[in-house]
Amino acid sequence: MNEPVLEIKNLNVDYGLGDQAVHAVRDVNLTLHRGEVLGLAGESGSGKSTLAYGLTRLLAPPGVVSGGEVIYHPEQGEPYDVLGLTDRQLQAFRWAETAIVFQGAMNSLNPVHKISTQLTDVLAAHEPQMSSHSRNARAREMLKLVGISADRMDAYPHQLSGGMRQRVMIGMALILQPQVVIMDEPTTALDVVMQRQILGQLIELRERLGFSVIFITHDLSLLVEFSNRIAIMYGGRIVEEAQAATLYKDSLHPYSNGLLSSFPALRGPRRELAGIPGSPPDLKGMPSGCSFHPRCPKAFDPCADNIPVLGRPDTPDGATRTVACWLHPVQQTVG
């Protein structure tokens, strides 16, 4: 899992222009490796979804990518910057190389078209040379892969349960066998049992088909269970990144600790949920210095005036993780 498939370099996303611009994503550097599940966690408004929309160029105005690169490494051929693609190239890139499953995706299906039509439409747009028979066969195969009987091909969305509709959306995202799948809060609207079933199945499919996943959620407990690595966002910046097990056992950033203590422990004795005091920062008026300092139980002298840089901490496992906090001096900055 060391070969990169997507490299996000110094990505900045703003809403609005000039002095009025709100900086929603700031200097984000992240690498997704082949076959990996990279979790992205943070409270609402931390910039997770804006990052996903920015890197796939799906931002609606007044959102604008104001800087950075998103380097995609195809299976064959030279890497290229997604931000530099023409509209036609971008159309070919979406679904075929990178697919996204949106928040509330199960409500994104067109209510007046059968499931079969919605699945085969993707194939018709991207592989026009494919016969109608082959498209139908591929759609049936995809439904089976996501755990839906092929005889539901002719169902309308309202005839399926919420979990089944979400599976159809995942099937649609995978139908062209993209290398990268971005899941933006994919199971938030489902109950806990269904969430785990669908995510377990997604991980199984990833092992079989070999794609990589960026999995965005505010639910850190889900990420600990299903991700290889986790990046934590706060105020539009990455504040910590580590292997999932490392972050769970030994997170360094006080915000990561706060997020972890907001969910029940996966194992071991019951503990009281502590949560994080205060509210996420207003992006129009970010606090000075470390943007977490007004809520941080460990804030000290430098925190209110100086922004901590993201870098490799001076710890035995420092080569495999990053953090941005004045409590942890960094040896090498990232970005």
Q: Give residues in contact with ligand SF4 (CB under 6 A).
A: 253-254, 290, 292-293, 296, 298-299, 303, 308, 325-327
| Smallest distance from ligand SF4 to CB 326, Å | 4
Helix (H) or strand (E) holding 251, with range, is none
By beta-carbon proximity to ligand SF4, the closer residue of 48 and 293 is: 293
The separation between the first and the last C-alpha atoms of the chain, rounded to the nearest angstrom, is 21
* Structure tokens given for 176: 């062209």
Q: What is the DSSP letter of 118?
A: H
By beta-carbon proximity to ligand SF4, the closer residue of 207 and 300 is: 300
| Smallest distance from ligand SF4 to CB 328, Å | 8
Alpha-carbon dihedral sign for residues 282, 261, 226, 200 = negative
By beta-carbon proximity to ligand SF4, the closer residue of 186 and 313 is: 313
| Smallest distance from ligand SF4 to CB 293, Å | 4
**Residue closest to 275 by CA, chosen among 203, 218, 334:** 218
Helix (H) or strand (E) holding 200, with range, is helix 192-209
| Residues 39, 231: Cα–Cα separation, whole Å | 6
* Structure tokens given for 283: 């992006």
By beta-carbon proximity to ligand SF4, the closer residue of 122 and 247 is: 247
* Structure tokens given for 202: 């997604």
By beta-carbon proximity to ligand SF4, the closer residue of 72 and 292 is: 292
By beta-carbon proximity to ligand SF4, the closer residue of 173 and 239 is: 239
Is the Cβ–Cβ distance between 22 and 207 less than 8 Å?
A: no
| Smallest distance from ligand SF4 to CB 209, Å | 39
* Structure tokens given for 32: 């997704």
| Residues 272, 264: Cα–Cα separation, whole Å | 8
| Smallest distance from ligand SF4 to CB 129, Å | 54
Is the Cβ–Cβ distance between 180 and 32 less than 8 Å?
A: yes
By beta-carbon proximity to ligand SF4, the closer residue of 15 and 326 is: 326
| Residues 244, 231: Cα–Cα separation, whole Å | 9
By beta-carbon proximity to ligand SF4, the closer residue of 150 and 327 is: 327
| Smallest distance from ligand SF4 to CB 222, Å | 24
Residue 320 φ/ψ, nearest 5 degrees = -110, 5
By beta-carbon proximity to ligand SF4, the closer residue of 89 and 288 is: 288
- In sequence order, the β-bridge partners of residue 237 are 234
| Smallest distance from ligand SF4 to CB 307, Å | 9
| Smallest distance from ligand SF4 to CB 291, Å | 8
Task: Tell me whether residue 326 is exposed, middle or buried, using C-beta atoms within 10 angstroms of its C-beta: 0 to 12, 13 to 18, 19 or more.
Answer: buried
Strand-by-strand arrangement of the 80-81 sheet? 22-33, 4-15, 63-72, 80-81
| Smallest distance from ligand SF4 to CB 329, Å | 11
